[in-house]
Chain A
Amino acid sequence: MRSNRPTTAMARPMARLVTHLMARRAAAALGALMLLLPTLASAVPQIETWRTDNGAEVLFVAAPDLPMLDLRVVFDAGSARDGDRHGLASLTAGMLTEGAAGLSADTIAEGIESVGAELGSGADRDMAWVSLRTLTDPEALERALDLLTKVLTAPDFPAEDFERVQQNTLVALRLAEQDPKTVGSKALYRMVFGDHPYADDPSGTAETVSALRPAHLRDFHRHHYTAANATLALVGDLTREQAEVVAELVSLGLPAGERPADLPPVAALSQGQLQRIDFPSSQTHVYLGQPGMRRGDPDYFPLYVGNHILGGSGLVSQLMDEVREKRGLSYSAYSYFLPLSQNGPMVMGLQTRNEQAEEARSVMLETLQRFVASGPTADELDAALKNITGGFPLRIASNRSVVRYLAVIGFYDLPLDYLERFNERVSSVTAEQIRDAYRRRIHPDRLATVLVGGEQDSRSQTVNNGASAPAEAAPPSVAGGDATATATPASAGAPMQVPIQAPVRALIRAAGGEG
C-alpha cells in the first residue's frame, strides 16, 4: 500500500478526531467480547439524529452485527439546480473522486481500494450523493474517512481530468441515444415537466456538457456542497459516540452555507400530448406520464398503495395481468410514482413489437382509465396490504437499504418514525381513499404519451400533436391476475427508491433470464 501524498490544512484536526475515534473503538471491542451472542435484530431500525457543529443533519442506525459501515452524504445539489447548464450537477458529483486536496484520481482510487472500501458519487434530479462502504477496522476506517472527507470538501476539478470526464460523458450520451428505452424516457420527462427543471435529464445534452468548464463545477460545489445543505446517513458497527465523531470528521471541511430556495411547483398538464420517435428497433417502447406526487405528499399512501395494485407490484398488478398474462404483449409492464421535492412523475411503460404498439398502448391506457374510475376491489386492496406490510421486513433487512432510507428521510424531512409507522399507515388506506386520490390527481385524458420504435404506421414523427390517446378495442374486465416478476424501475415497488440488490441485477442481466 502506498503512503498518502500531500496533506492539507485539514489534516491535523482530522488526525485528532481519528485518534479519538480509535480509542472509542477499542472500548467497544472489549464490550463486544462480553456479548458473544449476536444481538437480536429489532423489527425496525432505531434512528438517532443530531446536527454536527457546523449544522449538517445526521441520521444514524447502529448495526453491530457486521464490522462494516455504510455512509451516505446527500446534498440538495441535483440537476434541478443546474440552471441552464444541464449536466452540471452530475459532472460535479462525478468529478469529486477525480482529484482532491492535491491527490490524483489514481491515488484516491488506490487509497480506497487498498483497504477494500467502495466510494461512489452521483446526482439525480433532487440530490447529489457520495457513498462510502468500508470495514470498521481502524486502518480501513481511518483511510476511507480521510479520503471521503477530501473528495467531499476539497475536490480539485483538475483541468485535464475534467476534459477527459467531459469527453467520456459525451460518449455516454451517444450510447444513450442508441437505447430506445432511454430515448423514450428522456422525451417523456420533457413532455411531463415542460419548463420545470425536472424536464431536463441529469446527464445533460451534448451541447450543454460541451459548454461546461471546471470553473462552473467549482462554483457549483462551493455553493451547494455545504453543511446546511447536507444530510449524513450512517449505518454500521459504530456506537453513537463514534458516529458523532465520524459525522464531525466528514462535515468538518464543509462551509456552513445556506439551503437553496425551494424548487418551483410543477404545473399540471393542460392537455394530452403524443410524441412518436422513429427508431430502428423491433419493439416500440410506450410510455404514459403525468406529474404525480412529492415526498411527504398528503396523498402519498393512497397513491402508493393504489399504484402497487395498478402496476407497481410487478408480480400481481392489474397492468401485468392485462398486458402480459392475458395477452402476452410485453415482457415488462409497470407503473410507478417517483416522488421528488416537488411533484415527480407518474409513469407507465411497456415494450412490444412494432406492429402491436397501438394495441398495447390502448390496453395500458384503458387499464389506467378503469382504475381511476373504479379503484381497486376489496380483494385487490386486501392482497396489496398483505404484500406491502408482510414484505416490509425484507425492505429493511440490509444495511445497504437502510442507509438509503435514512438519506431519503433526512433529505425530504420525512418524520423520523417514517419506517416505524410505515405499515400502520399503509394498513389504514381504504379503497375509497385510493379512488378519491386517483380521481383528483391522475387524469387519463391529459397524459403525455411517447412511442419510440419503428414502422408502426405511415404517420411520421409528430411532436405534441395535442391528441389524447385514442381508445381501441376494450379489453374484458380485470380478474385479479398476476405475473412472474420483471425488473421494474428502481422506484416501483418499494416504499422509496431502493434499487434491487446489485447481485440480482447483475444476475438478471447476465443470465438473460426471467428477471
Chain B
Amino acid sequence: MLDNLSIAPRRGAAVLFAALGLALAPLTPAAAAVVEHTLDNGLKVLVKRDARAPIVTSQVWYKVGSSYEHGGVTGVSHLLEHMMFKGTENLEPGEFSRIIAENGGDENAFTGRDYTAYFQTMAADRLPVSFELEAERMRRLALPEDEFLKELEVVKEERRLRTDDDPESLTYEQFNAAAYEASPYRIPIIGWASDLESMQVEDLRRWYRQWYAPNNATLVVVGDVEPEAVLALAEAHFGPLAPEPITAPKPRVEPPQRGEKRLRVQAPAKEPYLLIGYKTPALGHAEAPWEPYALEMLSSVLDGGTSARLSRELVRGERIAASAGASYSAFSRLPGMLLLDGTPAKGRDVQALEQALLAQVERLRREPVAADELARIRSQLIADKVYEKDSVFYQAMQLGQLETVGLGWELVDDYVEQLSAVTPAQIQAVARKYLVPEARTVAVLEPQPLDGDAPQTAMARAGQSRGQTDAQ
C-alpha cells in the first residue's frame, strides 16, 4: 500500500523446477519470447504472444512522471495524463474513450514517479484501433483551455479523495517530503495543492512538448497476436511520428542522511499509524548488483505472506500489531526506501509497535535468516511467475515498467533467479549496511478527534456522534 508500484519480483521457473524434480516442461507451452524492435523514430516496441484468450493488451509507457517534475508544477505529469483523453487535432474531447468503448475495450492510464502509461485491453482483432488512437495523441494533443480548467477541478477532487481526507495517505505524503532532501521522490504524484491551484494550461503544453515523443516511449503488446504483424502495424501508425530531442532529467542525487528524522502528523482519525523508512539503493545504483535483490528478499522475510515474520511474530505472536507490513522495490529509477508500517493492536501503543519493528530489524542485522524461510519465499516466487501468466495485462506491465525505469525489459527473464541466489549472509549484510538509525525516518499519525472539537471533549462527542450518525 505504500510503495510506488513495486512490480512484485516474481519470476524464473525452469531451473528451479528442475531442481525440485518437477517435470513442468511438457505441461506448459514454452514461454513465448518477447520480440523487440525499435522504429526509426526511436519508439521501442515489445511484443509477447499469449494465445490463451482471444484478447490483447496494448500499453504506451512514457519516460516521465512525478520524479521528473520540479517545484511549482508538481502534479503536471498526472494532470497531463488526464488531458490525454480531452481531444487531439482529429479527435473531440472524449472521443478517444468513446471509440475504445464501442470496440469493447477497457482502457485507462496511470501515473507513477517514474512513468506515465496508457493502456487498452480489447479483442485481439481490435489492435489497429488502439494503435491509431495512441499514435494520434502521442504528437497531436489539443489541450484546450476550457477542458483543462474543468479537468483541473476533477484532479483537485481526486487529491481531496486520495490524500487530504485519508489520514494514512496524508501521513505517507508528509513522510516522503520529510525523508527525501534532494531526491524528486519527495514530490507527491498527485501534486501539492498549491501547485494545482496555480497550474496553467501552458505548463501542460510545455510538459507535453518536452516528453511526449516516440523516442521517449515504449509500446508493449501482449496477447493473441502475431509479433511480426504487430511490428508492421506499429510501423504504419507510429512510424510517421517525428522524434524530439529529449534531455535526460538532472540526477538530483539524494545526499547521505546524517541522522534519524522523526515527524508527527496530526489529522482527524480513529487509530494511529506508524511508518518507518530506511534509505536504500535501487538496482541501477547499488554498489554491488546483488544488494537490491538481497533487500527484496529481506522485505519478503518480513512480509512475504502470512507465514512471514511480521504476521507471525508481531500480529500473532506478540499481538502488538493489528497489521504490519514491509515493502521495497529494487526496480525504481532512483534510490528509494525500504518501508515498514503498521497499526498497533488494541491496547498497545505506537511506541511499543515501533520497538517491535526495530527489534525485527535488529534481528536481521544480528542473525542470518533460516534456510526454511528462504525456501518458502523461493517457492512463492516460482509459483507467482506461473500465476502472473493468468493476466496479459500484468505481463505487459512488467515489461513496460522495467524498460521505462531504465533497467531493460530483459530483466523479466532472470530476476527470480537473481532473487533465488541470494544467501542468508547477503541479507544480513544489507541489513547491517542500510538498516541503520542514521538513514531512518519515522512518521507517526496522531489521531485528532473526528468531530473537530477540542480533544478533551472528544470522548463524549465521539460517543454521541456514533449514536446519531452511523451506529457503529
Residues of A within 8 A of B (CB): 1-2, 29, 32-33, 36-38, 40-41, 43, 64-68, 97, 105-106, 109-110, 112-118, 133-137, 139-140, 161, 164, 167-168, 170-180, 183, 186-187, 190, 205-206, 237, 275, 277-283, 313, 315-316, 324-332, 351-353, 383, 386-394, 396-400, 454, 461, 463, 480-485, 501, 503-504, 506-515
22 A-B residue pairings within 8 Å (CB atoms):
A2-B372, A65-B29, A66-B52, A66-B386, A116-B382, A117-B383, A135-B383, A164-B315, A167-B319, A167-B345, A170-B346, A176-B472, A183-B469, A277-B470, A331-B154, A386-B102, A394-B123, A461-B468, A482-B101, A507-B110, A511-B111, A514-B111
For residue A36, which residues in chain B have a CB less than 8 angstroms away from its CB?
A: 29
Contacting A174 at CB < 8 Å: which of B52, B271, B387?
A: B271
Known: A315-B97, A391-B105, A515-B108. A110 touches B376 (CB 8 A): yes
Contact, CB under 8 Å: A507 / B397 = yes
Contact, CB under 8 Å: A484 / B78 = no
Contacting A511 at CB < 8 Å: which of B106, B152, B189?
A: B189
Contacting A398 at CB < 8 Å: which of B27, B101, B391?
A: B391
Contact, CB under 8 Å: B379 / A116 = yes
Contacting B108 at CB < 8 Å: which of A33, A177, A514?
A: A514
Contacting B347 at CB < 8 Å: which of A38, A167, A179, A393?
A: A167
Contact, CB under 8 Å: B376 / A113 = yes
Contact, CB under 8 Å: B54 / A41 = yes
Contact, CB under 8 Å: B53 / A397 = yes
Say yes or no for B136: interface residue by CB 8 A criterion.
no
Q: Which of B306-361 contact A (CB under 8 A)?
A: 306-307, 311-312, 315-316, 319, 322-323, 343-347
Contacting A484 at CB < 8 Å: which of B109, B189, B271, B393?
A: B109
Contact, CB under 8 Å: A391 / B307 = no
Q: How far is the CB of B163 from chain A (nearest CB, A)?
A: 8
In the complex, residue of chain A having the shortest beta-carbon distance to the beta carbon of B5: A510
Complex alpha-carbon distance, A278 and B23, angstroms: 61
Residues of B within 8 A of A (CB): 1-5, 17, 20, 22-24, 26-29, 51-55, 78, 81-82, 85, 93-95, 97-98, 100-112, 116, 121-123, 126, 149-158, 160-167, 188-190, 224, 268-271, 304-307, 311-312, 315-316, 319, 322-323, 343-347, 372, 375-376, 379-384, 386-387, 389-394, 397, 447, 450-452, 465-466, 468-472
Q: How far is the CB of A498 from chain B (nearest CB, A)?
A: 12
Q: How far is the CB of A486 from chain B (nearest CB, A)?
A: 8
Contact, CB under 8 Å: B154 / A387 = no
Complex alpha-carbon distance, A136 and B24, angstroms: 10
Apart from A33-B26, A115-B383, A511-B189, list 11 A-B contacts with CB within 8 A: A29-B23, A32-B26, A68-B387, A113-B376, A133-B387, A177-B270, A190-B470, A237-B27, A278-B465, A316-B101, A387-B104
Complex alpha-carbon distance, A172 and B164, angstroms: 20
Q: How far is the CB of B387 from chain A (nearest CB, A)?
A: 6
In the complex, residue of chain B having the shortest beta-carbon distance to the beta carbon of A460: B468
For residue A315, which residues in chain B have a CB less than 8 angstroms away from its CB?
A: 97-98, 100-101, 107
Complex alpha-carbon distance, A220 and B240, angstroms: 66
Contacting A66 at CB < 8 Å: which of B28, B81, B307, B319?
A: B28
Q: How far is the CB of A501 from chain B (nearest CB, A)?
A: 6
Contact, CB under 8 Å: B450 / A397 = no
In the complex, residue of chain A having the shortest beta-carbon distance to the beta carbon of B96: A482
Contact, CB under 8 Å: A396 / B346 = no
Contact, CB under 8 Å: B322 / A511 = no
Residue of B2, B103, B106, B123 ringed by the most chain A CB atoms within 10 A: B106
Contact, CB under 8 Å: A503 / B472 = no
Contact, CB under 8 Å: A175 / B270 = yes
For residue A383, which residues in chain B have a CB less than 8 angstroms away from its CB?
A: 98, 101-102
For residue A33, which residues in chain B have a CB less than 8 angstroms away from its CB?
A: 26
Contact, CB under 8 Å: A392 / B268 = no
Contact, CB under 8 Å: B268 / A353 = no
Q: How far is the CB of B223 from chain A (nearest CB, A)?
A: 9
Complex alpha-carbon distance, A116 and B276, angstroms: 28
For residue B188, which residues in chain A have a CB less than 8 angstroms away from its CB?
A: 512
For residue B116, which residues in chain A have a CB less than 8 angstroms away from its CB?
A: 513
Known: A282-B164, A316-B98, A512-B188. A503 touches B109 (CB 8 A): no
In the complex, residue of chain A having the shortest beta-carbon distance to the beta carbon of B121: A394
For residue B469, which residues in chain A have a CB less than 8 angstroms away from its CB?
A: 183, 187, 275, 277-278, 461, 463
In the complex, residue of chain B having the shortest beta-carbon distance to the beta carbon of A332: B161
In the complex, residue of chain A having the shortest beta-carbon distance to the beta carbon of B83: A484
For residue A324, which residues in chain B have a CB less than 8 angstroms away from its CB?
A: 154
Q: How far is the CB of B130 from chain A (nearest CB, A)?
A: 13
Contacting A351 at CB < 8 Å: which of B4, B20, B161, B372?
A: B161
Q: How far is the CB of A332 from chain B (nearest CB, A)?
A: 8
Contact, CB under 8 Å: A397 / B270 = no
In the complex, residue of chain A having the shortest beta-carbon distance to the beta carbon of B95: A482
Residue of A187, A396, A484 ringed by the most chain B CB atoms within 10 A: A484
For residue B158, which residues in chain A have a CB less than 8 angstroms away from its CB?
A: 331, 514
For residue A139, which residues in chain B have a CB less than 8 angstroms away from its CB?
A: 20, 22
Contact, CB under 8 Å: B270 / A353 = no
Q: How far is the CB of B56 from chain A (nearest CB, A)?
A: 10
For residue B345, which residues in chain A have a CB less than 8 angstroms away from its CB?
A: 164, 167-168, 171
Q: How far is the CB of A354 from chain B (nearest CB, A)?
A: 10
For residue A507, which residues in chain B have a CB less than 8 angstroms away from its CB?
A: 5, 110, 112, 397
For residue B271, which residues in chain A have a CB less than 8 angstroms away from its CB?
A: 171, 174-175, 178
Contact, CB under 8 Å: B27 / A386 = no
Contact, CB under 8 Å: A278 / B451 = yes
Contact, CB under 8 Å: B152 / A328 = yes
Complex alpha-carbon distance, A481 and B92, angstroms: 10
For residue B166, which residues in chain A have a CB less than 8 angstroms away from its CB?
A: 179
Contact, CB under 8 Å: A393 / B154 = no
Known: A113-B379, A485-B108, A513-B81. A283 touches B390 (CB 8 A): no
Contact, CB under 8 Å: A483 / B319 = no
For residue A503, which residues in chain B have a CB less than 8 angstroms away from its CB?
A: 391, 393-394, 397
Q: How far is the CB of A5 from chain B (nearest CB, A)?
A: 14
Complex alpha-carbon distance, A279 and B387, angstroms: 42
For residue A393, which residues in chain B have a CB less than 8 angstroms away from its CB?
A: 53-55, 104, 123
Contact, CB under 8 Å: A390 / B28 = no
Complex alpha-carbon distance, A190 and B470, angstroms: 9
For residue B380, which residues in chain A have a CB less than 8 angstroms away from its CB?
A: 113, 116
Contact, CB under 8 Å: A396 / B53 = yes
Contacting A513 at CB < 8 Å: which of B98, B112, B389, B450?
A: B112
